[in-house]
Amino acid sequence: MGNGEIEAAEEGLPMPAPPVGRRYRPVGSEDSAVIQMTSMEPAPGGSTSVTGHDAVTPQPPRNFRPGGANLTIDPSMQEGSSDHATSSGPQRDSKLELFGFDSLVNILGLKSMTGEQAQAPSSPREGEDIAITIGRPKETGPKFGTMMGVFVPCLQNILGIIYYIRFTWIVGMAGIWQSLVLVSLCGACTFLTGLSLSAIATNGAMKGGGPYYLIGRALGPEVGVSIGLCFFLGNAVAGSMYVLGAVETFLDAVPSAGLFQESVTVVNNTLINGTATAGTATISTPSLHDLQVYGVIVTILLCFIVFGGVKIINKVAPAFLIPVLFSLLCIYLGVFIAPRHNAPKGITGLRLTSLRDNWGSEYQRTNNAGVPDPNGSIYWDFNALVGLFFPAVTGIMAGSNRSASLKDTQRSIPVGTLSATLTTTVMYLLSVLLFGALATREELLTDRLLTATVAWPAPVVIYIGIILSTLGAALQCLTGAPRLLAAIANDDILPVLNYFKVSEGVEPHAATLFTALICIGCVIIGNLDLITPTITMFFLLCYAGVNLSCFLLDLLDAPSWRPRWKYHHWSLSLVGALLCVVIMFLISWSFTVISLALASLIYYYVSLKGKAGDWGDGFKSAYFQLALRSLRSLGANQVHPKNWYPIPLILCRPWGKLPENVPCHPKLADFANCMKKKGRGMSIFVSTIDGDYHELAEDAKTACQQLEAYIEYKQCEGVAEIIVAPSMSEGFRSIVQTMGLGNLKPNIVVVRYPEIWRRENLTEIPSTFVSIINDCIIANKAVVIVKGLDEWPNEFQRQYGTIDLYWIVRDGGLMLLLSQLLLTKATFESCKIQVFCIAEEDTDAAELKTDVKKFLYDLRMHAEVIVVTMKSWESHMESSSSGAQPDDSQEAYTSAQQRVSAYLSEMKETTEREGRPRMVDGKQAVVNEEKVDKFLYTMFKLNSTILRHSRMAAVVLVSLPPPPLNHPAYFYMEYMDLLVENVPRMLIVRGYRRDVVTFFT
């Protein structure tokens, strides 16, 4: 298109009357340029840490004489923005001159987002370029993989006493087909919860606390603490249940070990297959005092193991698990070889007749020991069996409870948890069929230890398996519960829990002791029949919280929601949450109400006494999309990075040269949509009219209506604003200060690069362009400058190749986030991301590459990392004297040097003729000539690097250098022109002093 104009508006676009716009005049020899610019210098008095290099004193600048002329320099204004020293000592003179102090190579600022969000600086210039010292993470304790860290703990918690002593009885009572439904129902609940757990756990770095950490970060601290404490209590009491189960089995196997007289129950008749059968059944149970004495001893012994730390626990765990697995193998061997010569008559072996007879249910009354009795006090139905069996599938949180001890939580938790869940569910389903075909219904209901009766070679194997399985489950409860309590205490939400705080990598001994006291207290009670259903409710309440958290996060789909685990959907999470609630009411509506009431009381207490946690929970992300209600909920402070949404402020006609009937460049709306994930978010389209507001108010209203019609036509969510101001610079300054409300203020300014300024000889563009960038820096707004907007693809033009990022300065992750948002669009979904780190010649490229790859991995971003070294200015001067080889951009570089030299000569002549320093915008024009050439050289080398590596890239993203202090706006345009030379499509990005991506869930 000639002269940079758009020849016609897009087809079908309304063409109303044109508004009054600005006019540009040609550049004259006496025209001035804006001087005042903001650099990325460190805050005065602030300390800066430079990693990888020792700070050295900057060398004095060399004399630069373009065209034989030398301009007088004011010593007080001589140094550029990148050479200012801080109070901590002299700062090294960066070789990436124009990008200043905040270079990625100097600071290696890759861990700036690993901690909690830092407080925003009190003024625009404070904290602008504070670098963060990077060190390798300190190994604080043993780290474990998927097998020993997740799979084994989950398997030990799931395989418990219910399978050994109650599973055959459940098959006899419910029948085969209802038992299959029962197992499938409970298994589906835990499997769906495992999917939700996997999604949340792989959405960022996960600290200790397991489900509490996930729920709290997703639903807020109040919900997280209330459910977390209930889950802790459930784990602690469940430990006592497992201990009592182990002790009771031991005393059944070895009655002589009892210290007190055992209890004997005699049943005079039984009910089998609906028929009363005369006879007596004698049932012996261990003494309550024996259970108490042995239970306390076993609990203390397990606590000693727990006090030894995770490393000791993982060494002991196989000793508990391997005999359990062997006992299961013995059960299956015994099932297939049954009946043996000494087997009871009720054991028929695997027979279709038994399978057919046991297919239906036979619900009836039993006594407290589970023996059928017409006069029994307990009537069993399907709902009651759900409450009895569900603890046999709990334990899926055992791995996530120990998340702080895992090497890679994002891989270990999904694989280990789901593998353990599927393994045990398949085993249960297979066992239903085998046990249903193995024996008569009478045998299934009366032989409490049928698994031991049929086991090969002897029942003692099953007794050992029961004891070790329950002890292993108790060990995992006593391991996970203290870490859960310590994680709640470390978040400093409830001051009453401060005693249980621990440092990272330190064993939670105080929390372990408290958990042991709770467990011992429940063991002393001895009878857990009244509180066991409440334990199940606490587990179900936690599972419902995990599912609800995943459902909310997936439904909101904020830019920070990028879980590595893709095999989930919000509908599955919703079904999982509803299934948990249904099972809770199936078991007992009264216990459901009790558990919900307890959680509500804790929630209310945390709301009153707890401290606020800035976790960026999912509810706040929902409020963000609810307009006025979200403004009230989020307040005036900037949102957390996980809830951060781009709100672009799009300058529609900053440089003119559009047909008067086109209110905005047609491709700007296309680009604005690329900055939104799935179309969500708001854009603000603004334009200015030069003149007096009183005279042009009606014209502004008309122009605003035209712009609104354009936005609606382009199907872009956003609003239109027209400002009347004396000039473009003043209008934008008003916009950037006042536009938006609360957290709906724009945070990114999108502007088209002024490619037409030189060929159209438009003198106002350099000063306006620099003014806009400086205003954005002062107002703490990010900037995205689009070069090659005419060639930007629309939604129907699919792109291939790469999206190349030249990541030079720490921008809070904005450039990385923009690249990920581009990939969500059909236009760029086939592209791959390449990250180029520009390093100096003396930089350790391998270490830099490793740090960047680890950083991207933690952010769930897939990209190829390439480190490119640049020659320093000193090396360039040496090679220039010896004769350097020509470069692709050499001609543009030479032309820029000549134009800058001519401009400097003209400035000197004007100064000598007028007898006073050259004034621009009321300030003296002072230029460090050597730095001008250094900046030109930096842009020249960076452009050469881009052309060498990214000629075929779909789009190139590069960091935006700030306008240097004391350099005319004309010079800055020369720098930028040299940067974008021959690059067809480029996004020049500058972040602001906030992180927009985060590691955490």
Check whether 23 has a pLDDT greater than 80.
no
Classify strands 782-787 and 986-990 as parallel, antiparallel or unpaired. antiparallel
Q: Are residues 752 and 805 in the same domain?
A: no
Q: State pTM to two decimals.
A: 0.66
pLDDT at 634: 61
> pLDDT band at 428, cuts 50/70/90?
very high
State the total domains in the chain.
Answer: 3
Joined tokens for residue 249: 């089995």
Q: Are 818 and 784 in contact (CB under 8 A)?
A: yes
What is the average pLDDT across 303-312?
82
> pLDDT band at 173, cuts 50/70/90?
very high
Q: What is the mean pLDDT of the chain?
A: 77
What is the average pLDDT across 835-849?
80
CA-CA distance, 963 to 775, in Å (whole number)?
11
Determine what percent of the chain is predicted with pLDDT higher than 90.
15
CA-CA distance, 12 to 209, in Å (whole number)?
57
Q: Report pLDDT digits (tens) over 92-101.
A: 454 556 665 4
Q: Are residues 762 and 859 in the same domain?
A: no
pLDDT at 713: 84
Query: Rg for the chain (alpha carbons), in Å?
Result: 36
pLDDT at 188: 95
Burial of 420-457, coded b for 16+ CB within 10 Å and e otherwise, reads bbeebbeebeebbebbbbbbbbbbbbbbbbbbbbbbbe
Cα angle 554, 556, 558 (rounded to 5 degrees) comes to: 95
Q: Are 234 and 241 in contact (CB under 8 A)?
A: no
CATH number for 851:
3.40.50
CA-CA distance, 52 to 70, in Å (whole number)?
37
Which distant-in-sequence residues (6+ apart) come within 8 Å of 625 by Cβ? 556, 680
Q: State the greatest distance between any 2 C-alpha atoms of the chain, in Å, as a whole number.
A: 128
Check whether 737 has a pLDDT greater than 70.
yes
Q: Are residues 849 and 975 in the same domain?
A: yes
CATH number for 743:
3.40.50.620
Q: Are residues 822 and 776 in the same domain?
A: no
CA-CA distance, 166 to 173, in Å (whole number)?
10
> pLDDT band at 12, cuts 50/70/90?
very low
Task: Flag whether 413 is in a domain.
Answer: yes
Q: Are residues 386 and 424 in the same domain?
A: yes
Check whether 90 has a pLDDT greater than 50.
no
Task: Flag whether 372 is in a domain.
Answer: yes
Q: Report pLDDT digits (tens) over 115-132.
A: 444 444 433 444 444 333
> pLDDT band at 13, cuts 50/70/90?
very low
> pLDDT band at 923, cuts 50/70/90?
low
Q: Report pLDDT digits (tens) over 313-333.
A: 777 877 888 888 898 899 999
CA 485, 421, 205, 851 torsion-angle sign: positive
pLDDT at 421: 94
What is the average pLDDT across 873-894?
60
> Half-sphere exposure (CA, 13 Å, Cβ side) for 381?
5
Task: Flag whether 271 is in a domain.
Answer: no
Out of 6-10, 397-401, 791-795, least confident range: 6-10
Of the residues 588, 609, 630, the one at which a domain ends: 609
Q: Are residues 773 and 816 in the same domain?
A: no
Check whether 18 has a pLDDT greater than 60.
no
Q: Report pLDDT digits (tens) over 540-565.
A: 998 998 898 888 888 777 777 788 88
Task: Flag whether 113 is in a domain.
Answer: no
> pLDDT band at 77, cuts 50/70/90?
very low
pLDDT at 283: 58
Task: Flag whether 806 is in a domain.
Answer: yes
pLDDT at 766: 86
Q: Are residues 805 and 788 in the same domain?
A: no
pLDDT at 877: 57
CATH number for 314:
1.20.1740.10
Q: Report pLDDT digits (tens) over 680-710.
A: 667 888 888 888 888 889 988 888 888 888 8
Burial of 386-417, coded b for 16+ CB within 10 Å and e otherwise, reads bbbbbbbbbbbbbbbbbbbbbeebbbbbbbbb
What is the average pLDDT across 250-261?
82
What is the average pLDDT across 979-984?
88
Higher-pLDDT residue of 198, 285: 198
Higher-pLDDT residue of 180, 29: 180
Is 987 in a helix, a strand, or coil?
A: strand
Which distant-in-sequence residues (6+ apart) come within 8 Å of 867 by Cβ? 836, 837, 839, 843, 845, 846, 848, 849, 852
Q: Report pLDDT digits (tens) over 448-499.
A: 788 889 998 888 888 888 888 888 888 888 888 898 899 888 888 888 888 8
Of the residues 792, 818, 841, the one at which a domain ends: 792
CA-CA distance, 101 to 94, in Å (whole number)?
7
Joined tokens for residue 295: 């239970």
Burial of 668-679, coded b for 16+ CB within 10 Å and e otherwise, reads bbbbbbbbbbee
pLDDT at 576: 94
Task: Flag whether 176 is in a domain.
Answer: yes
The secondary structure element, H or E, covering residue 478 is: helix 460-490
Out of 266-275, 864-873, 970-979, least confident range: 266-275
Per-residue DSSP letters for 110-133? -STTSSSPPPPPSSSSTTTT----
pLDDT at 1001: 54
pLDDT at 879: 55
Task: Flag whether 787 is in a domain.
Answer: yes
Backbone φ and ψ of 80, nearest 5°: -80, 180
Count Cβ atoms below 10 Å from residue 339 Cβ, excluding itself.
18
> pLDDT band at 875, cuts 50/70/90?
low
> pLDDT band at 136, cuts 50/70/90?
very low
Higher-pLDDT residue of 888, 200: 200
Q: Are residues 705 and 758 in the same domain?
A: yes
Check whether 797 has a pLDDT greater than 70.
yes
pLDDT at 623: 60
Q: Are residues 870 and 947 in the same domain?
A: yes
Task: Flag whether 911 is in a domain.
Answer: no
Q: Report pLDDT digits (tens) over 199-234.
A: 888 887 767 677 788 788 777 788 888 888 988 988
pLDDT at 178: 95
Q: Are residues 370 and 518 in the same domain?
A: yes
pLDDT at 613: 64
Q: Are residues 159 and 289 in the same domain?
A: yes
Out of 424-428, 522-526, 577-581, least confident range: 522-526
What is the average pLDDT across 726-731?
88
Owning domain of residue 742: 642-792
Of the residues 747, 769, 792, the one at which a domain ends: 792
Q: Report pLDDT digits (tens) over 752-771.
A: 998 878 766 567 788 888 88
Q: Are residues 352 and 428 in the same domain?
A: yes
Check whether 511 has a pLDDT greater than 70.
yes
Is 887 in a helix, a strand, or coil?
A: coil
pLDDT at 72: 40
What is the average pLDDT across 808-813?
79
CA-CA distance, 132 to 111, in Å (whole number)?
8
